[in-house]
Amino acid sequence: MLVAGIDIGSITTEALLFDKAKGVVGYTILQTGADSKKAAELALNTVLATPGKNISDLNYIISTGCGRKRASFAKQSVTEITCIAKGVNYLFPNARTIIDIGGQDTKVIRIDGSGRVLEFEMNDKCAAGTGRFIEVMAKALNVDLDKVGDISLGYKKDLTISSICTVFAESEVISLVSEGEELEDILYGIHKAIADRTMGLITRTGGIENEVIMAGGVAKNSGVVKALEKAIGAPLKIHVEPQIVGALGAAIIALEKSV
């Protein structure tokens, strides 16, 4: 029994195939671009091509993410909060706290042992503390986005970025550059600011419980991970591909619906 989960995000779109007997059969990650409907169709066709399948071979398709309503081929759409919780529960059965930082929002989710959402908080009104925030700062500092995390790990001075607005924080970062502060110290300050904002969401969901999992594209940023681990006082568990967690959860829900 083959099913699919499609996670249509603001920056990337993930498609994942799940087989009842084999588990994850394959997945793909593409840039969403300006047309989320086209991105969803391309992602699904791309992941189906690897095992030589087509959409008629799928028993059920669930879409999720901010663009989930754009996937007309999906039989049902489910919120990303529910799908992330389901995907994390499959990968890390002992997880109770999830931190998901994507391109446009930050989510902290508290779940039970079956992956049911007990509480969640989102920062979706402002780009501060998200992947977009890091992207803006990397551009202001003329640093490759893929390198900001590793560069920040060499920090020696614990700088603080006090502004919570992306625009004001960018001005603050430029001021630090003009004052002669080291690049690695500024980058770590940026990552620490993200960790501080995330801790606010954690507090509002009732604090840390059991294993803490990080998902979303920002989980690939080693600097943010380090800053969060320092703030939390505990290690974060991260799947080898943290961007597929939502699509995985959608596929698992699709399997449950098709039985």
DSSP 166-215: HHHHHHHHHHHHHTT--HHHHHHHHHHHHHHHHHHHHHHTT---SEEEEE
Per-residue confidence (pLDDT) for residue 57, from 0 to 100: 94
Residues 254, 200 share a domain = no
- Plot region of 30 (φ>0 → left; ψ -120 to 50 → alpha; else → beta): beta
Per-residue confidence (pLDDT) for residue 124, from 0 to 100: 60
Residues 117, 18 share a domain = no
Residues 163, 70 share a domain = no
Residue 88 lies in a domain: no
Residue 48 lies in a domain: yes
Q: Is the pLDDT of residue 127 over 70?
A: no
Range of the domain at 120: 94-238
Residues 115, 227 share a domain = yes
- Structural domains in the chain (count): 2
As a whole number of angstroms, the distance between CA 228 and CA 106 comes to 13
CATH of the domain at 46: 3.30.420.40
Residues 158, 217 share a domain = yes
Q: Is the pLDDT of residue 113 over 80?
A: yes
Residue 162 lies in a domain: yes
Residues 119, 225 share a domain = yes
Q: What percent of the chain has pLDDT over 90?
A: 85
Q: What is the pLDDT of residues 7-50, one digit of tens each?
A: 999 899 999 999 999 999 999 999 999 999 999 999 999 999 98
Residues 105, 231 share a domain = yes
Residue 232 lies in a domain: yes
Residues 209, 157 share a domain = yes
Picking from 66, 53, 148, 52, the residue whose alpha carbon sits closest to that of residue 100 is 66
Distance set, CA 157 to CA 142, 160, 198, 233 (Å): 20, 10, 22, 20
Residue 89 lies in a domain: no
Residue 119 lies in a domain: yes
Q: Is the pLDDT of residue 220 over 70?
A: yes
Residues 58, 16 share a domain = yes
Q: What is the pLDDT of residues 152-177, one digit of tens each?
A: 999 999 998 877 677 788 889 999 99
End-to-end CA distance of the chain: 9
Picking from 65, 203, 78, 191, the residue whose alpha carbon sits closest to that of residue 137 is 191
Per-residue confidence (pLDDT) for residue 125, from 0 to 100: 61
Residue 214 lies in a domain: yes
Residues 159, 192 share a domain = yes
- Give the pLDDT band (50/70/90) at residue 186: very high
Contact by Cβ (8 Å): 6, 63? yes
Residue 139 lies in a domain: yes
The length of the chain is 259
Write the DSSP symbol of residue 155. -
Residues 134, 24 share a domain = no
- Give the pLDDT band (50/70/90) at residue 259: confident
Q: Is the pLDDT of residue 73 over 90?
A: yes
pTM of the shown model: 0.93
